[in-house]
Amino acid sequence: MRRKLIAGNWKMNELKSEGLQLAQAVFEKCGNRNLPFDVLICPPMSLLGLVADLPHGACGIGSQDVAETTKASGAFTGDVSAVMVKDLGATHAIVGHSERRTMHGETDAVVRQKAENAIQAGLTAVICIGETEAERESGDALNVVSRQIKGSVPAIATAENCVIAYEPVWAIGTGKTPTTADVAEVHTAVRAELQKLLGAEIADEMRILYGGSVKPGNAKELLAVENVDGALIGGASLKIADFWGIAETQL
């Protein structure tokens, strides 16, 4: 039985006081209630340690990236290793977000190494995949996500240490979302690819999130699609009313 995961990706947003307030508001909503879903927030690296130091109950805390090197420390100016992220109290790490793939030229091989580093450090890797608008329009979406799964998911991935996030690039921050039929088609294809790669037992339990313009108004419908096991939320994760409005559709 796959529990849904409601995850917020804050991206490069929030200075200290607003960020801590937002985190606190999420933690209060999670409270001690036995929610029927898991919650994760991924603040920028600047706030990760401060957020993780707040009492956060069962709420997961993730980084938005980890270093590519397999070394835990060393001469890698500007990088933060997965071991360091774990040491701050994080539980998860997003890797391969499309903004990293496009703005930093991260290839599938780089993403796979980062995912492996996160897993080896004891974090759950949230591996992002998704096609561009041109790839969707040329009918190539399924090939692209299959290739990304094969190239980005390390052999050590299990349902416990790995989550997949399908985020069509053209739906991120645009207000556009695929039809539920398109989401179902891709998520089913992703699971089939995971079965080939990791075996049915692991693939059937691994969570596949949908991301891209998820809002309180469309969350119920998107999260009801077959093989959609949660949401990765960007813009709407920065306002507690929106983030929790999405989460509440699962109560």
List active site positions: 97, 167
- Pairing state of beta strands 4-9 and 230-233? parallel
Nearest approach, Cβ of residue 99 and ligand PGA (Å)? 7
CA distances from 222 to 14, 25, 96, 128, 237 (A): 27, 25, 22, 17, 16
Nearest approach, Cβ of residue 98 and ligand PGA (Å)? 7
User: Which contacts of 48-56 are long-range, i.e. CB under 8 A and separated by 24 or more positions?
Assistant: 48/85, 48/88, 48/90, 49/88, 49/89, 50/16, 50/19, 50/20, 51/19, 51/20, 51/23, 52/88, 52/89, 52/90, 53/89, 54/20, 54/23, 54/24, 54/27, 55/27, 56/23, 56/27, 56/30
Q: By the criterion CB under 6 A, which residues form the site for ligand PGA?
A: 9, 167, 172-173, 211-214, 232-236
What backbone phi and psi angles, to 5 degrees, belong to 145? Answer: -70, -35
Please say which residue, 108 or 167, places its beta carbon nearer to ligand PGA: 167
Please give the Cα distance from 147 to 16 (Å, whole number): 39
Nearest approach, Cβ of residue 88 and ligand PGA (Å)? 21
Q: Return the sign of the alpha-carbon dihedral for residues 134, 167, 107, 2.
A: negative
- DSSP assigned state of 55: -
Q: Could you tell me which residues are beta bridge partners of residue 166?
A: 129, 210
Please say which residue, 154 or 230, places its beta carbon nearer to ligand PGA: 230
Please say which residue, 203 or 232, places its beta carbon nearer to ligand PGA: 232
Please say which residue, 126 or 194, places its beta carbon nearer to ligand PGA: 126
Q: Which residue is nearest to ligand PGA (CB)?
A: 234
Please say which residue, 27 or 170, places its beta carbon nearer to ligand PGA: 170
Nearest approach, Cβ of residue 44 and ligand PGA (Å)? 13
Nearest approach, Cβ of residue 211 and ligand PGA (Å)? 4
Token representation of residue 112? 């796979």
